Amino acid sequence: MANQDFRICSESGLKVYKNAETLIKWNVIAALATLAVGGLMALLVALTRWPSVHLLGLTEYYRFLTAHGVDALLAWILFFEMALVYFASTVVLGTRFRGVVVGWISFALMLIGGALINVIIIMGRADVMFTSYAPLKADPLYYLGVILFAVGALIGFIMFFVNVVYAKRDGGFKRSLPLGSFGLAAASIIGVLTLAHGAGIFIPAFLWSLDFIGYIDPSAYRLVFWGLGHSSQQINVCAMVAVWYMTSAFVVGGKPVNEKLSRTAFVLYILFINLASEHHLLVDPVLSTWHKIVNTSYMMHLAVLASMIHAFAIPASIEVALRKQGFRSGLFEWFKKAPWGNPAFAAVALSILLFGFLGGITGVIFGTEQFNIIRHNTFAITGHFHGTVVAGTTIAFMGFTYLLIPCIFKRQLIWKGFAQIQPYLYAVGVAMLSIGMMSAGAFGVPRRHYDITFSGAPFSFTFDPAIDMFMSMMGVGALLAVAGGVLFILIGFGSMIWGKEVK
């Protein structure tokens, strides 16, 4: 094999090739930058939903809500996932990036697409929220931006497989991929399928916005859109779980007790998660009740089973590793002596806990046909998915950033004390945000609503006074989470710029 320039990471012993390193760096930088924008939007939107503040005007609320959804869910998460799939298909396997030009093309497409979307939203030409449900229509450039961004991400996922094929040829791994990379392979497979749905819906929407197509059926739009919108959450879950395994391996040397079981669980995601997209259509009249019940009361649990397996396998792998290090006394010494002051470890522990109890359980409950009707489009749903994509995925990715900074950016973290508390601060904030939203939603408070006091409406309506407490809980949680988010961005960029060099 060509004698490319590489170095051995002193922290992990991994072999890092220069060309992979640069590409990973820039994807992480873009991820952090878009998270910062998404977080600013989150603050403004949350302060508007908090009735005692009610910050923004009507138009700005919907505009910034659209930007928040796009920058946080689409841009931050996918840029970081590009960094992850590149890391797992090169650094983890000790090989270089094949066809690195294509990796840069993918990055450029995502950057241009993401910038285009943001500009069009801020110009007020796409107040359609990130779902852009037909018949809401945005400027054609908005759909074009989404298409460019998605094509870029699709190329990135494909490059994962290209790298893996070459790594196999060059002996980067023997029979089967290491578990972390295996999880990201599952993520990439789902990624390719998902982005195909994305093309299936955004290309027609683009043509429709240009008046080449006269009409888009709203039900058909929702069906295909959620083939993209829900399945892409499963990319996030796979990537998050892969990060759980990799962090447990890097920080405490954790190895799953039964690796085959963990691998099988990833395969369950690939096979069954697309079915769960249907929980977004449960109040639509298109599908029959029988169909909905069979899907959401039976089939969906095959994917949930996978998460349950990981939720037991990872803490168990950590326990076994720590016991091997000598923390054997009693049932819980290993738990007490776990590296809680290591922000990467703390983030993963918090991510597992909150993803399971806030995001996962509520997802299973709200996703059943029978219960969905009373939670659909309430603030409870927003509470649910801040439990998954924020408390779960975002916190896990934040934790992994703390590992990438020494390993890929070759810098030590600045502000170590703040870095230690950052995951806790963010997690407490997001937990309050999510529980506040879910509780308010239980009293019928709607999501995506500018003014729940309905001032000036022809009919008067007041919610149960209990919601005041829950909306304040959401507001205070938002402030804490934003503080944790700002800290993360400062530590992240600060370390890249001013951190002491790692030799």
31 binds, among ligand HEM, Cu ion, none (CB under 5 to 8 A by kind): none
| 230 interacts with Cu ion by CB under 5 A | yes
Angle of helix 18-49 versus helix 100-122 axis, rounded to 10: 20
| 384 interacts with Cu ion by CB under 5 A | no
For the segment 67-86, give every residue that binds Cu ion (CB under 5 A). none
130 binds, among Cu ion, ligand HEM, none (CB under 5 to 8 A by kind): ligand HEM
Question: Residues 369, 276: contact at Cβ < 8 Å?
Answer: no
Q: How many CB atoms lie within 10 A of CB 269?
A: 27
100 residue type, one letter: V
Question: Residues 284, 299: contact at Cβ < 8 Å?
Answer: no
Smallest Cα–Cα separation from 235: which of 71, 344, 387, 73?
A: 73
Q: Which is nearer to ligand HEM, 65 or 300 (CB)?
A: 65
What stretches of 50-139 show up as alpha helix (H) in DSSP? 58-68, 77-86, 100-122
Length of the chain: 503
73 binds, among ligand HEM, Cu ion, none (CB under 5 to 8 A by kind): ligand HEM
d(CA 149, CA 119): 14
230 binds, among Cu ion, ligand HEM, none (CB under 5 to 8 A by kind): Cu ion
| 77 interacts with ligand HEM by CB under 6 A | yes
Reading the block at residue 217, the tokens are 């059926």
Question: Residues 82, 158: contact at Cβ < 8 Å?
Answer: no
- Number of residues near ligand HEM (by CB under 6 A): 25
Q: How many CB atoms lie within 10 A of CB 426?
A: 26
Taking the complex as a whole, the smallest distance from the CB of residue 158 to Cu ion amounts, in Å, to: 24
Taking the complex as a whole, the smallest distance from the CB of residue 233 to Cu ion amounts, in Å, to: 6
For the segment 39-68, give every residue that binds ligand HEM (CB under 6 A). 39, 42, 45-46, 49, 65, 68
Smallest Cα–Cα separation from 217: which of 201, 237, 235?
A: 201
Pick the piece of the chain touching Cu ion (CB under 5 A) from 127-135, 227-235, 286-294, 415-423: 227-235
Q: How many CB atoms lie within 10 A of CB 501?
A: 9
Q: Which is nearer to ligand HEM, 177 or 445 (CB)?
A: 445
Taking the complex as a whole, the smallest distance from the CB of residue 279 to Cu ion amounts, in Å, to: 6
Taking the complex as a whole, the smallest distance from the CB of residue 470 to ligand HEM amounts, in Å, to: 13
Q: Which residues bind ligand HEM (CB under 6 A)?
A: 39, 42, 45-46, 49, 65, 68-69, 72-73, 77, 129-130, 382, 386, 389-390, 394, 433, 447-448, 478, 481-482, 485
Q: Which residues bind Cu ion (CB under 5 A)?
A: 230
